[in-house]
C-alpha cells in the first residue's frame, strides 16, 4: 500500500483547494473586513468541499499576489489562525501550501497538524519569480527539526 492510499483511503484521491482570501500583509488584504471575513469565507468554502465528498483539502494562500519566495511571518500566522478556527469541523485529511515557501509550508504543517504539503522542494527554475533555487538538503533538515513525518 502506498502513502496516498494509507492517508486518503483511495489510490487516486480527489484533493480540493481551499484558497484563502488575501491575508494581512498582502497587497489586496481588506482591512475593513479583516480576518473574520477570511475565516468566514474559508469556512464556507471548506465545508462545501468537505460535504461535496472530496477525499482531502489543501489550504493555500492563493490570493497573496504577487507571490514571495520567502513569505512574511504574518502570512503563516494568519493561515494558522484560519485552520485553527476550522479544526473542529475538519473531518478529512488536510494539507497546506504556503506559496512558494517550503519552510513556511513545513512550519504551518507543524503548527496545524496537516497531513501533507505541496511545495517545490528542489531544483532550479526560471519563472515569474525570477531564478528560484531551493536547497533540498536544508529543507529536509528543517522538516526533521520540526519532527514532521508528512509527505
Tell me the pLDDT tens digit for each residue of 28-80.
999 999 999 999 999 999 999 999 999 999 999 999 999 998 999 999 999 99
Q: Mapping DSSP to helix (H, G, I), strand (E, B) and coil, where does residue 93 land?
A: coil
97 bridge partner residues: 60
User: Average model confidence (pLDDT) for the chain?
Assistant: 95
Distance, CA of 86 to CA of 107 (rounded, Å): 18
φ and ψ of 59, to 5 deg? -90, 135
Q: Please, which pLDDT band fits residue 124 given cuts at 50, 70 and 90?
A: confident
φ and ψ of 15, to 5 deg? -110, 115
Q: Are 97 and 118 in contact (CB under 8 A)?
A: yes
The angle, 0 to 180 degrees and rounded to 10, between the axes of the packed helices 102-112 and 73-86 is 30
pTM of the model: 0.95
What pLDDT score does 1 carry? Answer: 73
Q: Please, which pLDDT band fits residue 129 given cuts at 50, 70 and 90?
A: confident
What DSSP state is assigned to residue 94? E
What pLDDT score does 39 carry? Answer: 98
Amino acid at each position: 500500500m502506498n502513502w496516498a492510499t494509507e492517508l486518503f483511503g483511495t489510490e487516486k484521491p480527489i484533493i480540493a483547494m481551499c484558497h484563502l482570501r488575501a491575508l494581512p500583509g498582502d497587497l489586496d488584504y481588506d482591512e475593513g473586513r479583516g480576518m473574520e471575513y477570511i475565516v468566514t469565507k474559508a469556512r464556507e468554502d471548506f465545508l462545501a468541499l468537505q460535504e461535496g465528498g472530496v477525499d482531502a483539502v489543501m489550504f493555500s494562500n492563493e490570493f497573496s499576489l504577487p507571490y514571495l519566495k520567502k513569505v512574511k511571518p504574518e502570512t503563516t500566522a494568519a493561515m494558522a489562525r484560519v485552520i485553527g478556527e476550522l479544526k473542529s469541523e475538519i473531518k478529512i485529511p488536510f494539507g497546506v501550501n504556503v506559496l512558494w515557501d517550503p519552510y513556511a509550508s513545513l512550519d504551518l504543517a507543524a503548527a496545524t497538524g496537516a497531513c501533507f504539503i505541496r511545495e517545490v522542494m528542489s531544483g532550479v527554475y526560471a519563472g515569474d519569480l525570477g531564478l528560484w533555487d531551493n536547497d533540498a538538503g536544508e529543507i529536509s533538515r528543517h522538516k526533521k527539526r520540526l519532527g514532521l513525518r508528512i509527505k
